[in-house]
Amino acid sequence: MYLLFQEESVLLRQKSRTGKKNGNLKKIKNILYFICNLIKNIFLYDFNMNMTPELICSLSSCSLYKEDENHYSLQYTTGCFDFLRSIAAVIGDENCNLPNNRKIVFRAQKVQPLEFYLLECESMSETGGVPMGRGMSYQPCLWFLYNLYNQNEYLMNEDMSIFCMRIKDILVINNSIFVFINCKNVANIDIHTDTISFTTPFSRFGFCAPEIMAVSALPAIVDSRCFLYSLAALLVFCITRVNICELTTENTRIVENLGVYSVILPHLKTLVGTKLHWCILRMLKVVPRKRRFLYL
C-alpha cells in the first residue's frame, strides 16, 4: 500500500495535464460536484443544526469547529474549492460534504491538531514496531507520509503545490488520517517546469526547504519539490522533536554519498535499517531535482 513511486505519479500527473478539460468542462464538473454534495447534505448529514458549533482551533485562513458528536467542519475566510477537494480526497469523499467553496463538513470520531496528537504520543507507552524515541511510532509515520503526499498530488493535478508546512497546519483525524489545512501555503506551479514563482511576500515560518529560506528578493522561482523537503523535515520533528531546518545553513557540509546535510544524519539514528530511513533521506536531498518520494 505504501510502495509509492514518485516517478509513476509524475507521469500520471503529466498525462492528466496534457489532457486537461477546458474551462467550461471544469465548471460543469464543479457544478455536478456541488449537486452531489447537496444530495448528501439532505440525506446523510442530518446533524443537529440547533447545536452551536464548538470552536476547536483557528489559523489565519480557517477555523475548525465541532458540529456535533460525529461531525466537524473547516470554515475558510476565502473561497478555495480545489483545496477543499484535496482535503476530501484524503478523508474520503463518502465522509465529506462541501456546502460551498469556503466550508467542508466531515464525519469523524476524533479530530485534533498535530501538536496535541504529538503530546499524546509522548505520554503513551507505545509498544511494537521500531523504537522511535519520544515521537510517533512507525505506522503513524507511514500514514503521515501517505496522506500528505497524496493530498499534494491532488493539488498538483490542479496545478498547485504546498511549499511549506507548520505543525499547526496539520489535523489528525481518528488518530490515523493526517490533512494539511493551510491554503495560504499553497502556490500555483508552472506545469512545464514544475516550479513555483513567488511575486509577492510569502510566509517562511515552519519547515521550509533550503531554497525557500535562501530567497532574498522577489520575484523568485523555486522547484516544487520543496514540498518533499518540508514533508520529510516535519516528519523528522514528529519523531525526534528536532527541527532540522534550524540546523542547516548554506555553510553546512554536505555528505557527498548521500547528498544531504551532514548535521541531519545523527537525528535519524533511531530509523537506521528501515525503509522509512531511506525514504526520508531521498526527500531531504539538498539538490531539489534529486528528491524523490520512494518507500521500498
Where residue 6 falls among pLDDT bands split at 50, 70, 90? very low
Residue 14 confidence (pLDDT) = 47
pLDDT digits (tens, 9 = 90+) for 162-205: 999 999 999 999 999 999 999 999 999 998 999 999 999 888 88
**Predicted local distance difference test score (pLDDT) of residue 7:** 43
* Res. 130: pLDDT tops 70: no
CATH of the domain at 158: 1.10.510.10
142 Cβ partners below 8 Å, 6+ apart?
2, 276, 295
pLDDT surpasses 90 at 270? no
> Mean of the per-residue pLDDT values for the chain?
84
pLDDT tens string 82-122: 999 999 999 999 999 999 999 999 999 999 999 999 999 88
The DSSP bridge partners found for residue 68 are 71
Q: What is the pLDDT of residues 52-64, one digit of tens each?
A: 899 999 999 999 9
One DSSP character per residue, 72-85 reads EEEEESS--HHHHH
Instruction: Provide DSSP, 1-68.
Output: ----BHHHHHHHHHHHHHT---HHHHHHHHHHHHHHHHHHHHHT----TTSPPEEEEE-SSEEEEEEE
In a domain, 37, yes or no: no
Q: State which residues form the domain around 231.
A: 112-290
Total domains in the fold of the chain: 1
- Is the residue at 172 inside a domain? yes
Please indicate, yes or no, if residue 23 is contained in any of the structural domains: no
Instruction: Let me know if residue 203 belongs to a domain.
Output: yes
pLDDT at 132: 53
CA-to-CA separations, 148 to 4, 20, 142, 152, 202, in angstroms, rounded: 13, 24, 10, 6, 21
Contact (CB, 8 A) for 212 and 164: yes
Of the ranges 2-6, 135-139, 270-274, which one carries the lowest mean pLDDT score? Answer: 2-6
